[in-house]
């Protein structure tokens, strides 16, 4: 009897238990990052308000994962900083600090996401997250009326702030005029459906491009050294 078959007989539910444990871990990470993202988005809304047709991209870096280092970083960092909602399983002092750096702005979000300027900065800085903030139109009835959100009877100006990380994607929508929170979502990569959101697809491609390029470069170096 093979070892694989034997394991299955001893514990036929082993695979489902592992999958459930992985799902729970991913869920904990997603919720932890969601709390950080809410703080970042709130800070950006209060500082920038309505983007007024200009899309902006920001890189997210972890400046410190404990409060002692965080206080030092606050003193020396000129850019924006946000308190880090540190996962409980990191064995350090509670708290930490996230750095938020402006990377690019453009009137066309897709041109910005695939611009040389942004890709080079993502390669150089290696952020743990990419945030895009852009204005647009929101509607709850556009689909039923079979029109674009901007042409719907309940069309409203909105601000969409979305973040892409190695774990998943997160988004918060606000009313551009009142600042009211309209919606919030977070989706792990396993559940992201390609083609469902053109914006998210473009963000993921832009965020993942540097790591793919580094992998290709490393592979070429390995081949040359053989």
Contacts of 192 (CB under 8 A, 6+ apart): 168, 169, 200, 204
CA atoms within 13 A on the CB side of 194: 2
Contacts of 145 (CB under 8 A, 6+ apart): 152, 153
CA atoms within 13 A on the CB side of 136: 16
Of 68, 117, 131, 112, the closest CA to residue 94 belongs to: 68
Structure-token pair, residue 19: 């999958």
* C-alpha of 213 from chain center: 20
Inform me whether the pLDDT recorded for 187 exceeds 80.
Answer: yes
Looking at residue 220, what is its pLDDT? 59
Contacts of 104 (CB under 8 A, 6+ apart): 56, 57, 112, 115, 117, 118, 121
The arithmetic mean of pLDDT across residues 7-33, rounded, is: 51
* Dihedral angle over CA of 62, 65, 70, 73, nearest 10: -40
Of 152, 148, 202, 158, the closest CA to residue 53 belongs to: 158
User: How far from each other are the two terminal CA atoms of the chain, in whole angstroms?
Assistant: 41
How do residues 130-144 score in pLDDT, each as one tens digit?
Answer: 999 999 888 777 778
How do residues 74-112 score in pLDDT, each as one tens digit?
Answer: 444 444 544 444 444 444 444 556 778 899 999 999 999
**pTM of the full predicted structure?**
0.72
Looking at residue 202, what is its pLDDT? 93
């Amino acid at each position: 009897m093979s070892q694989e078959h034997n394991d299955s007989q001893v514990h036929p539910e082993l695979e489902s238990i592992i999958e459930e444990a992985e799902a729970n871990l991913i869920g904990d990470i997603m919720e932890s990052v969601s709390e950080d993202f809410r703080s970042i988005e709130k800070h950006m809304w209060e500082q920038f308000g309505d983007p007024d047709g200009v899309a902006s991209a920001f890189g997210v870096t972890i400046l410190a994962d404990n409060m002692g280092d965080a206080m030092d970083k606050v003193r020396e960092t000129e850019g924006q900083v946000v308190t880090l909602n540190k996962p409980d399983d990191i064995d350090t002092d509670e708290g930490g600090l996230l750095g938020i750096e402006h990377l690019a702005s453009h009137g066309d979000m897709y041109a910005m996401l695939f611009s040389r300027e942004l890709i080079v900065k993502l390669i150089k800085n290696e952020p743990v997250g990419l945030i895009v903030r852009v204005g647009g139109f929101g509607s709850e009835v556009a689909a039923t009326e079979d029109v674009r959100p901007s042409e719907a009877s309940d069309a409203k100006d909105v601000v969409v702030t979305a973040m892409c990380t190695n774990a998943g994607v997160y988004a918060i929508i606000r009313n551009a005029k009142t600042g009211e929170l309209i919606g919030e979502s977070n989706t792990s990569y396993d559940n992201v459906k390609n083609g469902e959101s053109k914006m998210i697809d473009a963000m993921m491609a832009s965020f993942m491009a540097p790591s793919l390029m580094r992998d290709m470069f490393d592979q070429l170096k390995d081949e040359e050294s053989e």
